């Protein structure tokens, strides 16, 4: 217990050190807000498993690791280019240890404003928008990020712009020399009638642990469409808490596909507030769990106005001693009549030591709604396996084929073919059937 206190004390100390360097700007509204957030973090502390939302995700072991504040790190372009997405012509924003690395970044779409969080804060308008969507009163990690974040991606898509090239936010954690803790903060504005695709991928270089506590604030304007693909591919020693807060205007569509491949502890909080009529939120997720991983997806579709729709599909394939957690919450507020909300969580357990804890939750305060959720947990269907084997497909190949089919329900929501294919391959690798599936994919 004393150790967990230590990390908290160190973070509090870091905040006061930074505060002293501020000199004159200590009285700015921005800093006052950060100070309030830090106080809130101090009050809340790190969540324990006695906290309902953290019941199945024990963060305590991570707090014993001697994390220290992440510093900028210079990577060679060879090291970075490994993580560029093959076959995709994309704008790339590279962040190393949470700091913007313009030398590795690439801008091809001039109609979009892309920059980093630090630079954006110099404008008063961004200053006033900061933490408006996310808030920080209830989540201690969000409060911590609000207080300590100093960099991240800043993307603003002007009204009516339809972006043809996706934007790739590439996060690299360099843990070769020490165990860094970083608090990246991403801000994405989609103007009215705009459309964009954003790919977010995270990777680690190095053998030490890393802790990423990221927060994204996303606003989707009227009639706008935003597609987000999140690929989590950190090392098996890394910890991540990713919280994204989306605010949707009238007729907007927000879709996110989260593919969690590795990472020792991954917690994703996706919150979408459907604040304008006729808006649609889609959450899709695929989890491939192995070793002693813990992957926790928390989603919240907050229906506050009538005629909105939300869809959720999360699929888990869990092997070894991994643990999967799914907590999907749908809130339909009193005025949100004619809401349609669907939620589904399906799990295949491949070993007796793997565990799934799922909690699909509905909180409904309006009567004219259609809401449903389903959750299943089981194994590969014996009959399907038999069918394939009776047609001459060997058992292991049949198994791989079925798992691939199971996963494809989620992957099919990725519209960029090269990305989908490369994910197919990485998943095949993860499921130890590389050759088998690679053949099937091609």
Can you say whether the dihedral through the CA atoms of 260, 8, 134, 340 is positive or negative? positive
Q: How near is the Cβ of 325 to other proteins at its closest, in Å?
A: 10
223: exposed, middle or buried (Cβ count in 10 Å: 0-12, 13-18, 19+): buried
Q: Each residue of 270-300: b (16+ CB within 10 Å) or e? A: bbbbbbbebbbbbbbbbbbbbeebbbbbbbb
| Cβ neighbours around 267 below 10 Å, total | 23
**Measured distance CA(300)–CA(283) in Å, rounded:** 10
The helix, strand and coil proportions of the chain, stated in percent and rounded to the nearest 5, come to: 25, 40, 35
Could you write out the DSSP letters of every residue in 313-327? EEEEEE-TT-EEEEE
**Measured distance CA(6)–CA(285) in Å, rounded:** 35
Residue 268 near residue 239, CB atoms below 8 Å:
no
Compare residues 365 and 387 and give the one whose CB is closer to other proteins: 365
Q: How near is the Cβ of 368 to other proteins at its closest, in Å?
A: 6
Q: How near is the Cβ of 338 to other proteins at its closest, in Å?
A: 11
Binding site for other proteins (CB under 8 A): 52, 334, 337, 347, 349-379
Q: How near is the Cβ of 349 to other proteins at its closest, in Å?
A: 4
Q: How near is the Cβ of 364 to other proteins at its closest, in Å?
A: 5
Compare residues 86 and 367 and give the one whose CB is closer to other proteins: 367
Compare residues 101 and 369 and give the one whose CB is closer to other proteins: 369
Compare residues 37 and 341 and give the one whose CB is closer to other proteins: 341
Residue 399 near residue 386, CB atoms below 8 Å:
no
Compare residues 30 and 380 and give the one whose CB is closer to other proteins: 380
SS (HEC) of 152-182? CEEEEECCCCECCCCEEEEEEEECCCCCEEE
Q: How near is the Cβ of 376 to other proteins at its closest, in Å?
A: 5
Q: How near is the Cβ of 145 to other proteins at its closest, in Å?
A: 28
Q: How near is the Cβ of 369 to other proteins at its closest, in Å?
A: 6
Compare residues 317 and 410 and give the one whose CB is closer to other proteins: 317
Pair type for strands 91-96 and 99-100: antiparallel
Compare residues 206 and 328 and give the one whose CB is closer to other proteins: 328
Pair type for strands 238-248 and 265-274: parallel
**E strand or H helix that includes residue 243:** strand 238-248
Compare residues 319 and 436 and give the one whose CB is closer to other proteins: 319
């Amino acid at each position: 217990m004393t150790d967990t206190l230590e990390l908290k004390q160190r973070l509090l100390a870091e905040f006061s050190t930074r505060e002293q360097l501020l000199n004159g700007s200590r009285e700015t509204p921005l800093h006052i807000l950060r100070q309030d957030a830090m106080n809130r973090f101090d009050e809340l502390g790190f969540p324990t498993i006695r906290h309902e939302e953290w019941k199945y995700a024990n963060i305590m072991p991570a707090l014993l690791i001697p994390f220290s504040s992440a510093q900028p790190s210079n990577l060679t372009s060879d090291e970075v280019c490994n993580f560029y997405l093959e076959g995709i012509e994309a704008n790339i924003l590279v962040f190393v240890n949470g700091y913007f690395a313009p030398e590795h970044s690439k801008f091809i779409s001039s109609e979009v404003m892309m920059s980093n969080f630090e630079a954006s804060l110099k404008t008063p308008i961004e200053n006033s928008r900061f933490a408006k969507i996310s808030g920080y009163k209830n989540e201690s990690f969000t409060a911590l990020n609000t207080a300590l974040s100093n960099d991240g991606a800043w993307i603003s898509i002007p009204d009516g712009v339809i972006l043809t090239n996706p934007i790739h936010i590439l996060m690299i954690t360099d843990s070769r020399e020490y165990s860094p803790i970083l608090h990246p903060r991403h801000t994405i504005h989609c103007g009215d009638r705009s459309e964009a695709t954003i790919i977010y991928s995270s990777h680690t270089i190095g053998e030490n642990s890393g802790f990423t506590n990221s927060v994204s604030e996303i606003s989707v304007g009227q009639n706008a469409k935003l597609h987000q693909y999140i690929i989590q591919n950190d090392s098996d020693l890394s910890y991540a808490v990713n919280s994204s807060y989306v605010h949707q205007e009238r007729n907007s569509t927000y879709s996110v596909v989260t593919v969690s491949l590795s990472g020792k502890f991954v917690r994703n909080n996706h919150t979408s507030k459907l604040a304008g009529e006729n808006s649609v939120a889609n959450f899709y997720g695929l989890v491939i769990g192995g070793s002693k991983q813990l992957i926790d997806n928390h989603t919240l579709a907050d229906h506050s106005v009538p005629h909105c729709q939300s869809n959720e599909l999360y699929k888990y394939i869990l092997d070894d001693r991994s643990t999967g957690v799914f907590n999907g919450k749908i809130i339909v507020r009193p005025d949100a009549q004619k809401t349609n909300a669907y939620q589904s969580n399906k799990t295949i357990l491949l070993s007796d030591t793997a565990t799934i804890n799922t909690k699909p939750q509905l909180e409904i305060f309006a009567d004219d709604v259609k809401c449903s959720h389903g959750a299943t947990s089981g194994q590969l269907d014996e009959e399907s396996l038999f069918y394939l084997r009776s047609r001459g497909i060997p058992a292991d190949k049949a198994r791989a084929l079925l798992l691939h089919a199971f996963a494809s329900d989620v992957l099919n929501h990725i519209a960029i073919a090269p990305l989908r294919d490369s994910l197919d391959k990485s998943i095949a690798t993860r499921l130890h059937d590389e050759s088998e599936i690679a053949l099937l994919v091609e």
